């Protein structure tokens, strides 16, 4: 099976050039002008369009068991929806229940993910601690290619990692050459505010964002980053949503600390007014954590993305339909947290980033694929258009337009947080493993075609006093 993408402008995180791209056996075999198509090769005419690395979404939750239900999007439907938006790979999360062995949870997620249409990997959450967790982390790094461990500082009484758990896990990550990732919200503060609001009779979605103020994120981000500084482990902050957290990250990076930050497309474009929508179902559909914020935080996030303080974009794709959200009709703390976005991340970012002059096409590639690949140690296999890289590509039509709607999207959810958004710039063709999986609206995703992608551990660096530190071999600065 071979494929030639002809006549386009190849855009990477570093440059753009007029070039053809030839793919064979799942890999990019040649990049250059006027390539000859071997007999039998499939031809895609990319004239007037860009050819870019397929998007990598580093933060998804397919078919996640959470808050008394299971996310409606499974690994097949979710990765297929990603194809429609130009995303070809995901990094999902294994989230063990308290006291569940990490390896048992990991095997369960690997089983669910076998139906994936696109390539995938995993972060593994550390939700409790004993010597079995210590041992399982080593197995995951050395045998399973997991190089990042997640810590929820929120969700008290469920999956929240205490300071003691974080200390033990961060230390173990250093020993193994792994990175730590953190959901930064002060779980105790959120828990107490939730109780106060319920006692006051504030039970609707409008109370959700009030229970999770920006200061709760800022404090947790500061604490986690300081833990990482003392222990000497690289840290990746997921779904940064506030000026408070941006300031903490910027200060740490200015001091030379290995801190990376991720922002969700939703947090860049949606504000907290959605929680006051007169229709309860619409307000509840936007309930996620951290919540959508006041508009001034959006400006801070865009500035941080443009300046490099934040390096990656994601979705936190975790779908719950109206019937599931209704579990919390009489108590906002019971509304399943999560929204969709894997299909719309890249087009929304192109429209409001490149189209608005906030990002160049090269910067768009950096924040949608290349930086993620570098930070999580799978570059240049992913996130590049280069000979030997995986043939995961998107042909991007900068002139194509549409209106985002739940009626036409491919995501398995009955609501779209970007409903009604007019966008300009779309994936016309998506290529996974050298095969067309989406072509001018024709979905060609194959159940089970996705591969598990191992991510190597990072290399140790020893400072002058002999204190072990770990840092990625390849990083986005």
468 pLDDT exceeds 70?
A: no
Looking at every residue in the chain, the average pLDDT score rounds to 95
Is 380 among the domain residues?
no
pLDDT of amino acid 469:
40
Whether 418 is covered by a domain: the verdict is no
pTM of the model: 0.95
Q: Which domain holds residue 45?
A: 2-52+385-398+425-443
Question: Exposed, middle or buried: residue 307 (CB in 10 Å: 0-12, 13-18, 19+)?
Answer: exposed
pLDDT of 148 above 90: yes
CB 430 within 8 A of CB 394: yes
Indicate whether 466 belongs to any domain: no
| Count of domains forming the chain | 2
| Residue 405 covered by a domain | no
The pLDDT tens digits for 201-219 are 999 999 999 999 999 999 9
Whether the per-residue pLDDT at 463 is higher than 80: the answer is no
Q: What is the mean pLDDT of residues 364-387?
A: 98
> What's the pLDDT tens digit per position in 69-88?
999 999 999 999 999 999 99
**Residue 339 confidence (pLDDT) above 60:** yes
Task: State whether 93 and 127 are in the same domain.
Answer: yes
What is the signed CA dihedral for 41, 46, 52, 54, rounded to 10 degrees? -60
Domain shared by 22 and 168, yes or no: no
Residues 223 and 302 in one domain: yes
* Whether the predicted pLDDT of 127 surpasses 70: yes
Model confidence band, residue 160 (pLDDT cutoffs 50, 70, 90): very high
User: Based on the domain organization, do 174 and 187 belong to the same domain?
Assistant: yes
Both 48 and 74 in one domain: the answer is no
pLDDT exceeds cutoff 70 at 470: no
Question: Is the confidence at residue 465, as pLDDT, over 90?
Answer: no
Give mean pLDDT, residues 107-133.
Answer: 98
Q: Angle at the Cα of 233 (from 227 to 238), degrees rounded to 5?
A: 75
* 159 & 176 share domain: yes
- Tokens 């007019």 locate to 422
Return d(Cα 301, Cα 245) in angstroms, integer. Answer: 10
Nearest to 197 by CA among 275, 100, 131, 312: 275
Q: Is the pLDDT of residue 476 over 50?
A: no
Residue 227 and residue 287 share a domain: yes
What pLDDT is attached to residue 65? 96
My answer on whether 46 and 155 are in the same domain is no
- 472 pLDDT above the threshold of 90: no
CATH of the domain at 392: 2.30.40.10
Confidence of residue 464 (pLDDT cuts 50, 70, 90): very low
CB 263, CB 311: distance < 8 Å: no
Q: How large a percentage of the chain has pLDDT more than 90?
A: 96
Whether residue 89 is predicted with pLDDT greater than 90 in this model: the reply is yes
User: Which pLDDT value is given to residue 1?
Assistant: 80
Cβ contact 170:233 at 8 Å: yes
289-333 confidence digits (pLDDT tens): 999 999 999 999 999 999 999 999 999 999 999 999 999 999 999
Same domain for 250 and 390?
A: no
Q: Is 476 domain-assigned? A: no
pLDDT at 460: 54
The sign one gets for the Cα dihedral 218, 219, 224, 227 is positive
What's the rounded Cα separation, in Å, for the pair 253 and 190? 27
CB atoms under 10 Å from CB of 361, counted, come to 20
pLDDT digits (tens, 9 = 90+) for 425-441: 999 999 999 999 999 99
Kindly state whether residue 147 falls inside one of the protein's structural domains.
yes
Tell me if 414 is assigned to some domain.
no
Examine the domain organization and report whether 183 and 225 are in the same domain: yes
**12 and 92 in a common domain:** no
Residue 413: inside a domain, yes or no? no
Q: 28 - beta bridge partners?
A: 23
pLDDT confidence of residue 459? 72
């Amino acid at each position: 099976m071979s494929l030639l993408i002809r006549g386009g402008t190849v855009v990477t995180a570093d440059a753009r050039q007029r070039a053809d791209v030839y793919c064979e056996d799942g890999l990019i075999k040649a990049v250059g002008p006027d390539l000859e198509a071997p007999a039998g090769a499939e031809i895609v005419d990319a004239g007037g369009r860009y050819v870019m690395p397929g998007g990598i979404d580093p933060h998804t939750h397919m078919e996640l068991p959470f808050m008394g239900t299971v996310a409606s999007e499974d690994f097949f439907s979710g990765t297929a929806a990603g194809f429609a938006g130009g995303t070809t790979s995901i990094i999902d999360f294994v989230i063990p229940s308290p006291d569940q062995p990490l390896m048992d949870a990991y095997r369960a997620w690997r089983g669910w993910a076998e139906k994936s249409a696109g390539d995938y990997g995993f972060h593994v959450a550390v939700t409790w601690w004993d010597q079995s967790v210590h041992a399982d982390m080593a197995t995951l790094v050395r045998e399973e290619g997991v190089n990042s461990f997640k810590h929820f500082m929120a969700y008290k009484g469920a999956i929240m990692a205490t300071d003691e758990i974080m200390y033990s896990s961060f230390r173990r990550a250093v020993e193994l050459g792994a990175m730590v990732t953190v959901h930064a919200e002060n779980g105790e503060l959120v828990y107490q505010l939730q109780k106060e609001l319920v006692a006051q009779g504030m039970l609707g979605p409008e109370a959700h964002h009030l229970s999770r103020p920006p200061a709760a994120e800022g404090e947790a981000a500061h604490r986690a980053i300081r833990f990482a500084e003392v222990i000497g482990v690289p840290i990746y902050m997921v779904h940064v949503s506030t000026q408070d957290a941006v300031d903490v990250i910027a200060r740490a990076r200015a001091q030379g600390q290995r801190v990376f930050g991720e922002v969700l497309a939703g947090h860049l474009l949606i504000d907290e007014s959605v929680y006051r929508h007169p229709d309860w179902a619409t307000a509840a559909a936007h309930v996620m954590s951290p919540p959508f914020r006041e508009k001034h935080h959006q400006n801070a996030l865009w500035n941080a993305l443009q300046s490099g303080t934040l390096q990656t974009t994601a979705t936190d794709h975790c779908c719950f339909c109206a019937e599931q959200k209704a579990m919390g009709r009489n108590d906002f703390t019971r509304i399943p947290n999560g929204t969709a976005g894997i299909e719309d991340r890249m087009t929304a970012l192109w429209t409001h980033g490149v189209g608005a002059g906030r990002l160049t096409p090269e910067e768009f590639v950096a924040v949608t694929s290349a930086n993620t690949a570098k930070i999580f140690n799978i570059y240049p296999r992913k996130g590049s258009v280069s000979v030997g890289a995986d043939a995961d590509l998107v042909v991007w039509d900068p002139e194509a337009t549409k209106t985002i709607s739940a009626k036409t999207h491919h995501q398995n959810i009955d609501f779209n947080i970007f409903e009604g958004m007019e966008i300009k710039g779309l994936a016309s063709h998506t290529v996974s493993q050298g095969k067309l999986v989406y072509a001018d609206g024709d979905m060609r995703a194959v159940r089970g075609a996705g591969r598990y992608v191992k991510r190597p551990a990072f290399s140790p660096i020893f400072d002058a006093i002999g204190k072990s530190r770990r840092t990625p071999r390849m990083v986005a600065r």
